[in-house]
């Protein structure tokens, strides 16, 4: 069984369905309200566990009800959270999400204790992660922790996948030697300065990242699939066509499942196609972590 260590955020998602997004200053009447476990790190950890990975999750939560419920939920998924940091008196992260009738979303995150995942705690937690095949992280936790993980991975010969979301720039020292980065089109533009809208611009953006020392680049294209490039090859894979209900955690499911595939030494094309199937399944339901499909469901979906 492949070993995955996810370093990232844990949130509680509060979701309102609405016909359309409000304009600035406008109040509209929405539909149903939902509350789900979320956070990009947690979503990816759950997706990886359900896809057959042995997952360790390093995160930071408060000792409030949200934090306690989150850790209990991860344990039920079979995820090792022994290295999670609990902040006494801390407020766990929350995300306020609006989903329109097309399944598109707008999200505002209050980081809470996610912002307190320190380099010191991460350094200690990584001592129990020497068996890890692939590390996975995102950008909802402090960037200095991401930089520390990147440096640790290089020094110890470990594969690190960075999903650069929410979108922000990354230093050249983080990118140099990085095994894989997985931006979407918006994130790729911020990282490279190139607006990604077709294969030619995908190639140019990927080249910028490769020239900074990244070994492999995947640009996710939503319902259009995903684009891959490294020093040897480039290609695009497609995504299954489904009716989207809620796209909130599609990228997280893709990254979590992709990481398991890479830990199993599947090819790039096989890994991307498998991850796209999982992501497509996830958007057919409301929610975040709860929408991550199991390995059996992914295998049965064509």
| φ and ψ of 145, to 5 deg | -70, -40
93 sits in which H/E element: strand 93-99
Whole-number pLDDT of residue 10: 96
Contacts of 110 (CB under 8 A, 6+ apart): 91, 93, 94, 95, 96
Residue 236 has a pLDDT of 97
CA angle 279, 284, 287 (to 5 degrees): 85
Position 124 scores a pLDDT of: 94
Contacts of 18 (CB under 8 A, 6+ apart): 28, 30, 31, 98, 99, 100, 101
- Give CA–CA dist 57/26, Å, rounded: 39
Q: Give the predicted TM-score (pTM) of the model.
A: 0.91
Of 215, 165, 210, the closest CA to residue 192 belongs to: 210
Peptide bond between residue 166 and the one before it cis (omega within 30 degrees of 0): yes
CB under 8 Å to 13, separation ≥6 — which residues?
Answer: 34, 35, 36, 37, 38, 39, 94, 95, 97, 248, 287, 288
Place of tokens 């900074």: 212
The pLDDT assigned to 244 comes to: 84
pLDDT means per 10 residues in the chain (302 residues)? 92 92 94 90 97 97 96 97 96 92 87 95 89 94 96 96 95 97 97 96 98 98 95 96 85 97 97 96 84 93 78
* CA neighbor of 113 nearest in space, from 150, 67, 158: 67
Q: What is the DSSP string of 226-274?
A: EEEEESS-EEEE-------S--TTHHHHHHHHHHHHHHTT--HHHHHHH
pLDDT of residue 158: 95
Taking the C-alpha atoms of residue 40 and residue 277, their distance in angstroms, rounded to an integer, is: 19
Residue 247: the pLDDT is: 80
Q: Own/partner pairs for 224-227, CB < 8 Å, 24+ apart?
A: 225/272, 225/276, 226/254, 226/272, 226/275, 226/276, 227/199, 227/202
As annotated, the active-site residues are 252
Q: What is the structure's pLDDT at 78? A: 97
pLDDT at 204: 98
Q: Rounded to an integer, what distance in angstroms lies between the CA atom of residue 88 and that of residue 61?
A: 9
Task: Indicate the DSSP class of residue 184.
Answer: B
The pair phi, psi for residue 34, each rounded to 5°, is -130, 150
What are 263's two structure tokens?
Answer: 């830990």
């Amino acid at each position: 069984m492949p070993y995955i260590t996810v370093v990232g955020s844990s949130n509680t998602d509060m979701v309102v369905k609405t016909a359309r997004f409000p304009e600035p200053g406008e109040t509209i009447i929405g539909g149903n309200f939902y509350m789900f476990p979320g956070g990009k790190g947690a979503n990816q950890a759950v997706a990886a566990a359900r896809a057959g990975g042995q997952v360790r999750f390093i995160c930071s939560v408060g000792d409030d009800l949200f934090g306690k419920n989150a850790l209990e939920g991860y344990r039920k998924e079979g995820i090792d959270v022994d290295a999670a940091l609990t902040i006494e008196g801390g407020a766990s992260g929350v995300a306020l999400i609006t989903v329109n009738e097309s399944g598109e979303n707008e999200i505002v995150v209050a980081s809470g204790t996610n912002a307190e995942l320190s380099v010191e705690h991460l350094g200690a937690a990584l001592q129990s992660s020497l068996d890890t095949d692939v590390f996975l992280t995102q950008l909802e936790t402090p960037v200095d922790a991401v930089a520390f993980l990147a440096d640790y991975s290089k020094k110890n010969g470990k594969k690190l996948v960075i999903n650069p979301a929410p979108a922000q720039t990354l230093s050249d020292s983080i990118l140099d030697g990085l095994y894989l980065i997985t931006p979407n089109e918006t994130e790729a533009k911020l990282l490279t300065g190139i607006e990604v809208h077709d294969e030619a611009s995908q190639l140019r953006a990927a080249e910028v990242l490769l020239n900074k020392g990244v070994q492999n680049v995947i640009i996710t294209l939503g319902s259009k699939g995903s684009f891959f490039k490294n020093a040897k090859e480039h290609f695009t894979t497609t995504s299954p066509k489904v009716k989207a209900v809620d796209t909130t955690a599609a990228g997280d499911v893709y990254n979590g499942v992709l990481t398991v595939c890479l830990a199993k030494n599947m090819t790039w094309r096989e890994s991307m196609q498998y991850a796209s199937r999982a992501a497509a399944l996830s958007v057919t339901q409301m929610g975040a972590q709860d929408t991550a499909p199991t390995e059996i469901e992914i295998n049965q979906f064509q």
